[in-house]
Amino acid sequence: MKDLVSIRDVEKRWATSIFKLADELDSKPAPRKLAGKVLSTLFFEPSTRTRLSFHTAAARLGISLLDIESVGDSSIVKGESLVDTIKIVDGYADCIVIRHPLEGSARLAADLAQHPVINAGDGGNQHPTQTLIDLYTMNRLKKKISGLHVSLVGDLKYARTMHSLLYGLAMFGAEITLVSPKELQMEKAILEEVKEKFGTKVRISNEMNFRDCDVLYVCRIQKERFADPYEAVRLQQEFRITLESLKGAKDDLIILHPLPKVDEIAPEVDRSEKVRYFEQARYGVPVRMAILSDVMG
């Protein structure tokens, strides 16, 4: 692939090859065939895991790094347009990783740049590398994705990770249940898209029942989206993962989360053997190493 802007750009065969390469890179020292290459990371929104895992992946591959951590680090504060910024950085780097608050910004960057562009999150739209990490984690821990019953819980309307993941799960043949408040349900257009393309039937629920679930994937309810803060708190408590809500779940259930988590998972759940989101975060390094190896190789 040249650019990785949306999970819609990804074919199942290519994703599977990335998983295989990530396994190899996680099991032995990485070959430094990309030494001398330069990666630019342009983060105009806060990030911990995505930014640092890309930095770690680049370091392990021998890639040099040019980093813009925030708008304040760039000439955008002087009025320079994003278009000009991309054109300038494209002249310095062999690949650009961009996170930006505006939906479509990564696609714009890919259209402008001669070198590969990787989307690290564009507003509430897409986060394709996170989806590949999520799918890789499920495949590694469960030895398959097809046929798994995956429940996506939380803010399904605004969370870009959920939008990307639904598409990725449908592509790999998982069974999907969406659990959220009615106010934060997944947009119908996205559901219709996966049904039309993959024949996926998605179940919709507002009940915290995980008895048939193989993978429980959680994201936070975004309080900042609510006009009434008390309503946000009420829903957050109602859709909070606790030890009580996990009663009756399968012994081998795994719980994933893109992180950061706030109040949507009770602290005592962190001690459960079902929790695998810290391991999921670690897998961000080999998966992003594999992606960089492919698009820069």
- Which residues form the catalytic set? 49-50, 78, 99, 127
Which CATH fold would you assign to the domain 128-281? Rossmann fold (3.40.50)
Residue 74 has pLDDT above 70, yes or no: no
d(CA 211, CA 245): 10
Tell me how far apart the alpha carbons of residues 221 and 226 are, in angstroms, rounded to a whole number.
Answer: 10
pLDDT of residue 260: 86
Q: In this predicted model, which residue has the larger pLDDT, 239 or 276? A: 276
**Residue 181 pLDDT:** 83
pLDDT tens track for 171-204: 999 999 999 888 888 989 999 999 999 999 899 9
> What are the structure tokens assigned to 90, written together?
């494209």
Between 243 and 69, the more confident residue is 243
CATH 3.40.50.1370 maps onto the chain at 7-126+283-296, 128-281
Residue with tokens 């795994």: 254
Q: For 10-19, 31-40, 109-118, 122-131, which range has the lowest pLDDT when averaged over its residues?
A: 122-131
- Please tell me the predicted confidence (pLDDT) of residue 75: 58
267: left (phi over 0), alpha (psi -120 to 50) or beta: alpha
Instruction: Say whether pLDDT at 214 is over 80.
Output: yes
Crossing angle for the helix pair 128-142 and 284-296, to the nearest 10 degrees: 120
| Percentage of residues of the chain with pLDDT beyond 70 | 94
Query: What's the whole-number average pLDDT of the chain?
Result: 90
pLDDT, position 34: 93
DSSP per-residue string spanning 239-250: T-B-TTTTTT--
* Strand, coil or helix: 98: strand
Q: How many CB atoms lie within 10 A of CB 124?
A: 18
Mean of pLDDT values over 216-240: 77
Q: Note the CATH number of domain 7-126+283-296.
A: 3.40.50.1370
As a whole number of angstroms, the distance between CA 178 and CA 25 comes to 33
- Give the pairing type, strands 254-256 and 215-218: parallel
Greater pLDDT, 76 or 33: 33
Q: What is the pLDDT of residue 228?
A: 74
Helix, strand or coil for residue 205? strand
The whole-number average pLDDT for the span 129-147 is 97
